[in-house]
A and B are shown apart, each in its own frame.
Chain A
């Protein structure tokens, strides 16, 4: 577990001292985070690093999780999908049962705090049990395309909060409460992002069966249509007409049928082309993902729908230029022509990859600019500053 002082060597001059100064205004206050679980990426991954640091800064920080029966989780997932634009939302009975379960959660959990941050949809209706403190709903997905009826059903809970927080402007839908913006961040000291020695990289890639004898294109993303791995293969084939490169696609399926079907197609492609490597990696394969990103010549994130995936930030932290889709939270991460390129098509992706391979001096230059961009804007120390500022603002 990293301590706040450990970040001095990676987060830039004065960043940690600034966090310490800011934290003085929140010391002794009780801050509670509530999520639907402690495992997985996204908010849980950030909280695993952040909650101990908040405690170290003198803030009474805690983290609770809600739980329930199988129907509770099903409804929560359906509600989350509905907020992200799925046509069908949960049934009224399901919603009522989910809210009942959260009432029970509210009785079991210690919700006594000055600031209570409730993350995503699963625990969202806990706010109905509020009796003290300031309550903030933390939304980590893009709700802008939520269907009106589904959003209206959810608003009965969301509008009971004092504020909401979205990862970027444009991810919100209409609410009657202030909506703040805090971008997510990466932990530069975590296994997924820490420095690796050349030997560690070679050994890890050897274990994955990825040779390093030619320029390597890497995309790390779940095997879903939203991340367009087949489009990446098409772009690779266009590049391959001019450059002898290798493509590594690494991702998860989570056992979902449509993802497994996509993985089967990709494996068939890899079977016919030995320069395509397809790796099904669990989300917690941090060392492998780290090594793949560090071994890459160019990192791709050709998503067509991307929420706020931090893949580009992770890659840029490792000094890699990123060719990414023009979707969701990718845009604020990739500064066009400076840290990489945002593209709209397979042909566009291939064009930008060829441009970089034909002008190799751009690769380290963009990589260095990307690392600096991430240092300023997407490290956990920046998010700590935003989180503390939110607490100060709401607890005034």
Chain B
């Protein structure tokens, strides 16, 4: 069994939410606010959705699509926003531009409904991620598997989504598997695992399946 060049320190995270006192009451306001809010807010409402979404909620992919579906009641717009894969964009500003272009195109083809009451408006937020060392380290694939199986699900988000997009103290699973453990093929499988539209527990199960197959290969 190979030993990693450096240990992986598992960490979970907490999302401390901050409201920006920026609101949208209809699709047109949503477009203009998306264009002007801090990039952190775009991150919160897209990538951050993965941390908050669980099977009890209905999957919309991001907060904008959820609002369009549930509050505006515009299923066509909700669908167009839902299929935006945030991982497909190299920078948050590119993701922001894409969201604005979807709304702009939609507004050219459709009439905007009335303004919603404030209770139902879209409230823009951002978040501060607080990392939580979990006291679990891995220096081998077997230890990695044991840790992956038992860590808080926020650790799955931190090591797969958050570290993929923003610099964190925690190391991404893919970087550690490739660089520290010398398993680039397994790292590649982790990188290609589709975290989209699934709950973190399900993502954990999928990643564990990859590790189990790699362990089986090592034993052969």
Contacts of B54 in A (CB 8 A): 376
A327 to B20, CA, bound (A): 21
CB of A336 within 8 A of CB of B119, answer no
Contacts of B132 in A (CB 8 A): 18, 21-22, 25
Digit string of B6-33 for contact with A (CB within 8 Å is 1, else 0)? 0000001011111111010000000000
Query: Quick check: is A122 within 8 A (CB to CB) of the other chain?
Result: no
CB of A21 within 8 A of CB of B19, answer no
Main secondary structure of the interface of B (DSSP, over half): strand
Nearest Cβ on chain B to A340's Cβ, whole angstroms: 12
A335 to B119, CA, bound (A): 15
Interface size class of B (residues with CB under 8 A): 20 to 34
Q: Which residue of A lies closest to B17 (CB)?
A: A181
Q: Which residue of A lies closest to B153 (CB)?
A: A14
Contacts A14-B152, A18-B132 given; indicate if A393 touches B57 (C-beta within 8 A). Answer: no
Digit string of A373-393 for contact with B (CB within 8 Å is 1, else 0)? 100100000000110111011
Q: Which residue of A lies closest to B151 (CB)?
A: A14
CB of A338 within 8 A of CB of B58, answer yes
The residue in A170, A328, A376 that gathers the most chain B C-beta atoms within 10 A of its C-beta is: A170
Q: Which residue of A lies closest to B13 (CB)?
A: A389
A265 to B15, CA, bound (A): 47
A336 to B12, CA, bound (A): 30
Query: Quick check: is B193 within 8 A (CB to CB) of the other chain?
Result: no
A335 to B21, CA, bound (A): 24
Interface size class of A (residues with CB under 8 A): 35 or more
- Segment at the B interface, from A2-10, A172-180, A244-252, A351-359: A172-180
A155 to B145, CA, bound (A): 52
Nearest Cβ on chain A to B210's Cβ, whole angstroms: 22
A181 to B44, CA, bound (A): 13
CB of A327 within 8 A of CB of B119, answer yes
Could you tell me which residues of chain B, from 126 to 141, have a CB within 8 Å of some CB in chain A? Answer: 128, 130, 132-135
Give which listed residue, A17, A181, A331, A335, contacts B125 with CB less than 8 A.
Answer: A181
A interface, CB within 8 angstroms of B: 14, 17-18, 21-22, 25, 144-145, 166, 169-170, 172-175, 178-182, 326-328, 331, 335-339, 369, 372-373, 376, 385-386, 388-390, 392-393
20 A-B contact pairs sorted by A residue (CB < 8 Å): A21-B133, A22-B130, A170-B123, A173-B21, A178-B18, A179-B21, A180-B18, A181-B19, A182-B17, A336-B70, A338-B56, A338-B57, A339-B56, A372-B56, A376-B56, A385-B14, A388-B14, A389-B16, A392-B130, A393-B128
